[in-house]
Amino acid sequence: MAQTRKANTSSSLLQRFMAAAAWAAVLLLWAGAASVYVNPSWCSYIVVLGMGFPFLLAGTLLMLFLCLLFAPRQAWIPLVGVLACFGSVRAYFPINFSKKAPDSCLSLITYNVHGWGDAKNWDADTNRTAAYLADREADIICLQEAYCADKVMQKIRTTLNRNRKMYFDSVRLSENRLVCFSVFPIVGKEKICGSGMNGAAVFKLLQAPGDTLLVVNCHLQTMGLSGKERSNYKDMVQRNPDIDVDATSRRLVSKIAKAGKLRSRQAEAVADYVKRNAGRPVVVCGDFNDTPISYTCYTIGRDLQDAYRASGTGLGRTFNRDAMFVRIDHIFSSDHWEVFEARVDDSVYLSDHHPVHCKLLRKE
């Protein structure tokens, strides 16, 4: 009898412990999902919570597995926790059925070209990145970090024009250069915001008389992590025993939080521009330097649709260095457009980013 009571007591303690651990994991997951509503200017460290969303999701799924093994009656807690965040999970890892784009669609590419690569990125007078873009024959190409000498840019423009005429314009942000190539005439441009090499600009494309498409090209505030700091992060993720986890974590968190505060102001400037031009066809794209679960994406996408969420599938990693498996390059569009075939071309390693493609069909 005493052994039975002891076994019941142990079982009850296990149930309580598992329930407490499950609720802790769920509450952290919910906090990560809710971080999109909190302006980093009020609490800069909230950015870290949003960036940690995939880890928080993994932790909650682990708790679900452990509950099923050791405390099945508590499994409903992490299950409900994940289901309640279905929208956030779908934003981070969408799954869509393939649907072929009509021939009348516009094709668009956004790509952080990272200064057009190093010397190895040239074949004679042809830049391999430019050749890749020319071969894709996209109607609109938005590029970030497209800085280079004017003579080099002339060679790149020649390559982009080898298959058909592409109009060209750019906006400088310090040493950075936001570039737009388009089959439609570029009839205007305007810097929306800028801080050093980071910011956003709009290019106005004349699709038809009286019909101007506003294309906002973004390179929002970077994390500012040095190559060594990214390497330290990679070592930390891979559990390198030689890395000082505490010191590395503090440095990374501090830089990420500071950058998030600056980026939030730029995101608000872009969102204000979109709001001022409500009713007009708009596309916002580029290197946001932030994940789908972020104040940045929530603010910019509040009145727009996320092309990758609407028609892409999978994680869609766009930054291809170190151990950072994140989608930080995005395409958003107004409801004038139906989105098809959004994808990340992860076969291309000409930059530290992968290009993002999508097709847009103008609604009647």
Question: Of 1-5, 7-11, 166-170, where does the model show the most confidence?
Answer: 166-170
Query: What average pLDDT score do residues 191-220 get?
Result: 96
Q: How far apart are the first and last CA of the chain?
A: 77
* Residue 123 located in a structural domain: yes
For residue 22 the two structure tokens come to 């499950």
What percent of the chain has pLDDT above 90? 77
Task: Say if residue 312 is in the same domain as residue 202.
Answer: yes
List, for residues 283-326, the tens digit of each pLDDT value: 999 999 999 999 999 999 999 999 999 999 999 999 998 767 88
Residue 342 is predicted with a pLDDT of 97
Average pLDDT, integer, range 153-178:
96
**3-class secondary structure, 335:** coil
| Shared-domain flag, residues 217 and 264 | yes
* Pairing mode of beta strands 211-219, 126-127: unpaired
Q: What is the pLDDT of residue 224?
A: 65
Range of the domain at 164: 106-362
Q: Are residues 210 and 335 in the same domain?
A: yes
Q: Which residue has the higher pLDDT, 277 or 9?
A: 277
Instruction: Kindly provide the b/e burial profile for residues 225-242, where b requires at least 16 CB atoms within 10 angstroms of the residue's own CB.
Output: beeebbbbbebbeeeeee
The pLDDT value recorded for residue 339 is 97
Give yes or no: residues 139 and 283 share one domain: yes
Q: Is residue 69 assigned to a domain?
A: yes
Q: How confident is the model at residue 252 (pLDDT cuts 50, 70, 90)?
A: confident
Whether residue 19 is found in the same domain as residue 129: no
**Chosen domain end from 92, 126, 145:** 92
56 and 122 fall within a common domain:
no
- Picking from 62, 92, 122, the residue at the C-terminal end of a domain is 92
Average pLDDT over residues 331-358: 96
Q: What is the average pLDDT across 158-186?
A: 96
Residue 97 lies in a domain: no
Among residues 92, 119, 147, the one where a domain terminates is 92
**Number of separate domains in the chain:** 2
Q: Are residues 224 and 342 in the same domain?
A: yes
pLDDT for 246 equals: 66
Do 123 and 217 share a structural domain? yes
- Answer yes or no: is 240 within a domain: yes
E strands of the chain, at which residues?
106-112, 122-123, 126-127, 140-144, 167-173, 176-182, 186-195, 198-208, 211-219, 282-287, 305-306, 329-333, 337-344, 356-362
155 with 215, same domain: the answer is: yes
pLDDT band of residue 363 (cuts 50, 70, 90) is: very high
Rounded to an integer, what distance in angstroms lies between the CA atom of residue 350 and that of residue 291?
A: 22
Q: Are residues 294 and 183 in the same domain?
A: yes
Domain with residue 112: its CATH number is: 3.60.10.10
The alpha carbon of 41 is separated from its chain's Cα centroid by a whole number of angstroms, namely: 20
In a domain? residue 22: yes
